[in-house]
Every structure is written in structure tokens, then in C-alpha cells.
Amino acid sequence: MSGSRILKVAVSVPLSREFDYLPPSGESPAAPGSRVLVPFGRRQQVGVVVAHASDSDLPASKIRRAIATLDDKPLLSADDLWFVRFTSDYYHHPIGEVVAAALPALLRQGKALHPTVTVIAITDAGEGADVEALSKRAPRQAELLEILRDAGGNGVDVESLTESVPNWRRAVKPLLEKGFVTRFEASMDATDPASGEPAAPGPELNDHQRRALDAIREQPGFGAYLLDGVTGSGKTEVYLRLMRDVLGDNEQVLVLVPEIGLTPQLVSRLSSRLSVEPTILHSRLTDLARLHAWRNARSGSAKLIVGTRSAVFTPLPDVGLIVVDEEHDHSFKQQEGLRYSARDLAIARAKHCNIPIVLGSATPTLEVLQHCRTGNFRRLVLPERAGGARPPNFRLVDLSRAATSDGLSEPLLDAIKRHLCADGQVLIFLNRRGFAPTLICSSCGHVAECSRCDSRMTVHARDRQLRCHHCGAHRLLDELCSACGAAVKPLGEGTQRLEDALRGRFAAYRIERIDSDSTQKKGSIDQALALAERGDADILVGTQMLSKGHHFPKLTLVGIVNADQGLFGTDFRSGERLAQSIIQVAGRAGRENRQGEVIIQTAYPANPFWQCLIDGGYAQVSSDALAEREETRWPPFTRLALIRSAAHRQIDAHAFLDIARQRIEVQHIQHLRVLGPVNAPMARKAGRYRAQLLLQSSDRKALHAVLNSLRPTLENEPAARKVRWSIDVDPIELF
């Protein structure tokens, strides 16, 4: 018998250690990567065995036995476990919580890899039933029967049924009684995701695309590539060729995208061009659907996996290529719990698996650009739009001179008219949803504020509500000032107000607003985007949701209503962000053969940022910004980690960070700057006071060495019990 009888188990609790158990009595130790059910305190928990050991810090009598082994074969491979550990080490986050993030919910809860589910299916009698007659008496039953008829003999599992017909349970009873449907338990097995359709041919690559493709193909094994190309320059065509190579070798491809809901075009393009049905992974899947996708990826039967950030954890035994599209997008960084960057983890994973990774963007982050300068990554440039479309013309409108109404200046309104008359489509961009960002009293100047946050309430006129966009609090819209009783008025513009103003002026045209309020309902984003794409909507009004990756063939004018918020931002990334958001939204204009125009409204037309952006484009802005960062020693020239704390009392939030600071200082680490604690830029949110401590170093190893020993120390501090705290490695928001 081997001496390594002790199981090192990762349990999903916020403690950065593994827990020791003995195998269930009479069993040999479950292999690493398998789940076990273990006693934890007074509860039972599902954990994952991450290693075996021959001894423990605990005395033998104190080591408890696992209750059961849940998998006869490991769920996670050695590579998967490596990745979990890497993530836990790099982000200084408890390994049990990393494992939990890597597993689909059903597996986390201890369900079988191939769970049986309750299925409802139509019977022969049901096939023969007169649905039309039924629909008169019992429309719900008829609807359900119709769905089951379409599904055929394999039926529909109850979870999916709940998705499509929320109140199916009431309708199913009489159908069961009539013998029209039957209910049984089944193990839903993987369907083969091959689409069978022949692959559609693509355009012949231009020279730039070809050079980029050759450069990536040439180098075997790991390589990180930045595909730096303006919107429409044909980056996706390059990905497609690489994917075809890899799929042809029967290997897997992982594509990470910012938001699935916003990329239906990409998904359908992949499936038509590669004749493989992509396996989609995103947060809105049902638990069962997610498990299916995960299982198919793990078995290697899913070849092409397209997903949002958490898809980076999907087991991929035969992975041959990773693509991160729109590498600059913030949604790749998780901002709560395990605060990881899916892009950065994908790079680490590609390196470990010795495969290429391609990062695509028209507005690459300075981090990635700097890696290209130092030679870690290779930059491949696609300088012009493929298919002959020309770049759009930029024009500034000086808000301090031009007359405006509801935030729209005369020159912008004129341009809208002009483009609409020429049968063009118009996009009006404002990164602020709601009707107005402020409700102000016209007599005393009192502003409606959130009672739980240091922020103003946004006016949502349609629902007659005031809402806080930071904590979700809402209340009835005040008619009168709560301070003095005088009349109040909404101040400033949100997308709803722009929509109303445009409807007033362009009543004959179809106007579509796209922001997270207008797209709450399932499927509504797809519908709105399809309208926009077909050119059926004449004016699109929206937030950055509209700026991502879409191709609107008819779009010729982009109006940016208020770009000034970003000009004077306090974050060192403000300039980079502003340039990214403007270039991204501008990239929607003139994607086919018509000349595009971009109008930017600003109260500061003389600000040098604008000339730099208009004359030199993103390349100039980013290169200036890199020089400035080097001088001021901000990332990517230094590394950051942020320790955040939040508590009901401000003093507790600070006291915890004071202790953290002391624990860091006693280590006497060289080349480490510790800034704070200070209040977070929004000092109070959802009723909690927030403070932060910033760690900065030019030496990544030094920074990580500090955090290594800091995390377990802080977990044991009594002051930690009064706060919510977290460590954010490579933060992208400094609050």
C-alpha cells in the first residue's frame, strides 16, 4: 500500500489552504481531480482532491474521513489542476473557491457528471391529438403539446421546459392524464456538435492578412500574438484560417469574447465558415446546458468553444489555439470574488499547453502593446479596412459655441438630417442610460442622492423612478424638492432623453434605443441588433453596448454626444479608455462602400487629446500614453495590487487596512510602494464604507512575495471579521 494516504482537498471556503482527509473507510484514495464529499465543521461539503500526501500537520487522530468519493475517474486532469493552482497562486485567492469557479454549478453541488433528469415527451396518442381543438379550450396545454411535438420522441428536460414555458407544470397534468405525454428519467447525453453543412468559402486574404497568418503559422508551439487592426480590417478572417488549421488537426479551439449576447454575428459566421457548430458557454445558460457544454469540451467532442470570461476555465484536453477577441474589453476582468483577467489567464494557459494565442483588437491595451515592444508578444498589424472601405472622417463640435437642445447640437442635428436623407443609418452614442443623470431643485439646488451610496440618483422618466446605478436602489420620482418643496427638474442627458428628443425631431424615422434597460427582456438584444443590422432602424441610440463588434452595413454617421467625462478622469487609465471607446464606436461608421462620418461633441475642443486622436488615431494616443506611463511609473511599467475593504463603519474599513499595511512593512521588501489606506473614490456604496490600500512595484516577484504571506496572515486577523476584504491583482479599476 502506498504511503500517500492523505487527501489534500480544496473546499469552497474563503480560506487559502487545503484540507486534509482520509479516504472513506475501506477505499483507496481518490485520484487528484476527483470530487469527494467531506465533513466540514458541522456541514458536509463537496471538495476536489488536489493532491495526495503522506503526512499532515494534524495529529493522525484529528484527521477526519471523507464521507464518499463522488467520481470514479478524475473530473479534472493534471493540466486542469495545474491551471487551478496557477490561478489561485497568481490572484492570491483561496484554491477551493477557484475550483468552484472552474466547475459548472451542478458538479459543484455534487451531481453526477451524467445526471439523470426528468424528461417530458410526447406519446403516439399526443401526436394524433387535435391541437387546434385543444387550443380553443386549453391554450396552455396546446402550446406545451406543440413544443413537445417539435422536440420529438427524446422529449424536453424539465429545466429547459421551465425556460421556454414558465408555467408548464399546470398544463402538463391534464396532458399526462389524457396520455398525450409521458414523463421519465433519462441521462441526457452529448449530441455531436458537428453541423454537417459544408464550410462556406471566405474571401481571398489581402497581403497584410496573409503576412499575419504566415507569421503565426510559422512558429510552432507557444506564441502570443496581437492582431492589431482597425475595425473591419479582417481580423476575424485571420482567426478563421487559423481555426481551420487547428480543427483540421482534430484539435480544439477556444474563443473568448466579451459578451455573447453582443456577438451573434461572430457565432453564426464561425459556424457557417467552419462547418462546426460552436459550443457556447456564457452566464445565461441553464445549469444543465452549461454542464453539457462543459462535458463535451472536457471529453474533446466539442471542438470549437466560444465563451465569455469564465470559459477560460473549461477543460480542453486537445486545445490547439486560443483566440481572445476584443482583448481590450473590460468584461474579461472579473470584478468580484475571484478577480481574474480571462485574457491574462488565457495567455498563461496557452504557454503551459505550448500553443499559440491570438489577441485581437482595434484598440489594444497598453499592457499588451508594451509586451509587444519588449518582444514577449508579437504585434501583427492590419492597417486598413478589408474590402476597400475607407476610414471615417472625424469632426469636433464645440459645445461652448454651438446651440444645443436636449444635448444635441445644431451641427449634429444637421448631419443626422443629411445622412438620413441620403438613406444612411445614424448611431448616437452616450455612455449614460436613463433619462437624466441628475434631478435638481430649481429653487434651492438640492440634488437627489442615493441614501446608501455617495452618488446621485438617475432619473428614469418612463417608469417614474429615481434609480441608483451603483446599488440598484430605486424610489418614486420626486415631484417636488424633498428639501424645500419647490419644483424639481431633470438635468443632463441619458439615452432615454436622447431617444425622446430624436423622436420629436425625426418622427418619420424608426428609432431604436439599445442599452441595458431596453434589452432586459430575453432575446430583445438579438432582435434590436438584427433590426439595426438589416438597416430597418434608421437611428440607433445607445451606450457602449452598441460599440462592440457589430457590423451595421448601412451605418454612415456616428454622433458622440458627450465625450468629456473621460478627459479629466482621475484614473491613470482614463485617456486610454476614452480613446478606446471613441475609436470602437467610430469604427461602426462607413463599414461598406459609403464614407463614414464621426461627430464628437465636446466643450474642450482645444484639448490636445482630440488632435492627437484625430490626426494620429489610436496608435498615436497609445504611444503617447505609454511614454507618460513610463514617466509616471504606472502600469505596464509597474505592477499593482489593490487591497480593498468595506464595512458599515468607516473606522473598521480603515483599521483593517492599517493592519495590512503594518504586516507589509515588517517584511521590509525592496522596491515596493504602499499607498494608503485611503477612502475609495466612491467612499460609500450600498451602505458600506470603502477604503483601499495600493501596492505598487516594478518587480512583479517582490509584489507577489508580499501577497503570498499577507493573505494567510490577514485571514487570521480579528479585524478582518468586521470587514469585507479582497485582494485585486492587476486591478483595472482603482476603486
- CA–CA separation, 4 and 386 (whole Å): 60
- CA–CA separation, 615 and 349 (whole Å): 38
Q: Which does 24 bind (CB under 5 to 8 A by kind): ligand ADP, Zn ion, none?
A: none
Q: In 3-state terms, what secondary structure has residue 309?
A: helix
Q: In 3-state terms, what secondary structure has residue 712?
A: helix
Q: How far is the CB of 378 from ligand ADP (least distance, A)?
A: 18
Q: How far is the CB of 454 from Zn ion (least distance, A)?
A: 9
- CA–CA separation, 497 and 283 (whole Å): 31
Cβ nearer to ligand ADP, comparing 198 with 388: 388
Buried b (16+ CB within 10 A) or exposed e, 539-553: bbbbbbbbbbbbbbe
Task: Select from 243, 450, 541, 643 the one that contacts Zn ion (CB under 5 A).
Answer: 450
Please list every residue from 307 through 326 that binds ligand ADP, using CB under 6 A. Answer: none
* Phi, psi values for residue 682, rounded to 5°: -105, 100
Q: How far is the CB of 358 from ligand ADP (least distance, A)?
A: 11
> From residue 156 to residue 195, what is the string marking binding to ligand ADP with x (rule CB under 6 A)?
----------------------------------------
- CA–CA separation, 290 and 105 (whole Å): 8
> From residue 337 to residue 376, what is the string marking binding to ligand ADP with x (rule CB under 6 A)?
----------------------------------------
- CA–CA separation, 347 and 366 (whole Å): 16
Q: Quick check: 466 binds Zn ion (CB under 5 A)?
A: no
Q: Which does 12 bind (CB under 5 to 8 A by kind): ligand ADP, Zn ion, none?
A: none
Cβ nearer to ligand ADP, comparing 84 with 545: 545
Q: Which does 450 bind (CB under 5 to 8 A by kind): Zn ion, ligand ADP, none?
A: Zn ion
Q: How far is the CB of 263 from ligand ADP (least distance, A)?
A: 11
Contact region for Zn ion (CB under 5 A) — 257-265, 303-311, 468-476, 582-590? Answer: 468-476
Q: How far is the CB of 571 from Zn ion (least distance, A)?
A: 20
Cβ nearer to Zn ion, comparing 473 with 603: 473
Contact region for ligand ADP (CB under 6 A) — 4-12, 80-88, 201-209, 576-584? Answer: 201-209
Q: Which does 179 bind (CB under 5 to 8 A by kind): ligand ADP, Zn ion, none?
A: none
Q: Quick check: 584 binds ligand ADP (CB under 6 A)?
A: no
Closest CA to 194 of 250, 266, 151, 237: 250
Q: In 3-state terms, what secondary structure has residue 89?
A: helix
Cβ nearer to ligand ADP, comparing 33 with 234: 234
Is residue 580 within 8 Å of residue 328, measured between CB atoms?
Answer: yes
Q: Which long-range contacts (CB under 8 A, 24 or more apart) does 136-139 make?
A: 138/171, 138/174
Contact region for Zn ion (CB under 5 A) — 198-206, 306-314, 406-414, 460-468? Answer: 460-468
Cβ nearer to ligand ADP, comparing 209 with 495: 209
Q: Which helix (H) or strand (E) holds 600?
A: strand 597-602
**Block residue for cell numbers 489606506:** 677
Q: Which does 235 bind (CB under 5 to 8 A by kind): ligand ADP, Zn ion, none?
A: ligand ADP
C-alpha cell recorded at residue 21: 482527509
Q: Quick check: 235 binds ligand ADP (CB under 6 A)?
A: yes
358, β-bridge pairs:
225, 323
Q: In 3-state terms, what secondary structure has residue 270?
A: helix
* Phi, psi values for residue 718, rounded to 5°: -60, -35
Q: How far is the CB of 264 from Zn ion (least distance, A)?
A: 33
- DSSP conformation class of 169: H
**Block residue for cell numbers 438630417:** 417
Cβ nearer to ligand ADP, comparing 266 with 641: 266
Q: Which long-range contacts (CB under 8 A, 24 or more apart) does 518-523 make?
A: 518/542, 519/261, 519/545
> From residue 205 to residue 234, what is the string marking binding to ligand ADP with x (rule CB under 6 A)?
xx--x-------------------x-xxxx
Number of amino acids touching Zn ion (CB under 5 A): 7
From the centroid of its chain, how far is CA 28? 41
DSSP H helices in 361-473? 366-374, 410-421
Contact region for Zn ion (CB under 5 A) — 129-137, 284-292, 450-458, 673-681? Answer: 450-458
Cβ nearer to ligand ADP, comparing 188 with 532: 532
Helices (H) and strands (E) in the chain, counts: 21, 33
3-state SS, one letter per residue, for 108-120: HCCCCCCCEEEEE
> From residue 471 to residue 500, what is the string marking binding to Zn ion with x (rule CB under 5 A)?
x-x---------------------------
Sequence-distant (≥ 6) Cβ neighbours of residue 396 within 8 angstroms: 599, 600, 601, 602, 605, 610, 614
Sequence-distant (≥ 6) Cβ neighbours of residue 121 within 8 angstroms: 148, 151, 152, 153, 154, 155, 156, 181, 182, 184
Contact region for ligand ADP (CB under 6 A) — 72-80, 202-210, 276-284, 658-666? Answer: 202-210
Q: Which does 205 bind (CB under 5 to 8 A by kind): Zn ion, ligand ADP, none?
A: ligand ADP
The number of residues in the chain equals 735
Furthest C-alpha separation in the chain = 86
Q: Quick check: 468 binds Zn ion (CB under 5 A)?
A: yes
Q: Quick check: 387 binds ligand ADP (CB under 6 A)?
A: yes
Q: How far is the CB of 274 from ligand ADP (least distance, A)?
A: 14
Q: Which does 453 bind (CB under 5 to 8 A by kind): ligand ADP, Zn ion, none?
A: Zn ion
Q: Which does 620 bind (CB under 5 to 8 A by kind): Zn ion, ligand ADP, none?
A: none
Is residue 325 within 8 Å of residue 142, measured between CB atoms?
Answer: no
- DSSP conformation class of 172: H
Cβ nearer to ligand ADP, comparing 583 with 719: 583
Number of amino acids touching ligand ADP (CB under 6 A): 15
Q: How far is the CB of 586 from ligand ADP (least distance, A)?
A: 13
Closest CA to 324 of 287, 285, 365, 352: 365
Is residue 292 within 8 Å of residue 302, measured between CB atoms?
Answer: no
Cβ nearer to Zn ion, comparing 450 with 672: 450
Q: Quick check: 452 binds Zn ion (CB under 5 A)?
A: yes
Task: Select from 16, 88, 160, 236 the one that contacts ligand ADP (CB under 6 A).
Answer: 236
- CA–CA separation, 532 and 384 (whole Å): 24
Binding site for ligand ADP (CB under 6 A): 203-206, 209, 229, 231-237, 386-387
Which stretches of the chain bind Zn ion, using CB under 5 A?
Answer: 450, 452-453, 468, 470-471, 473
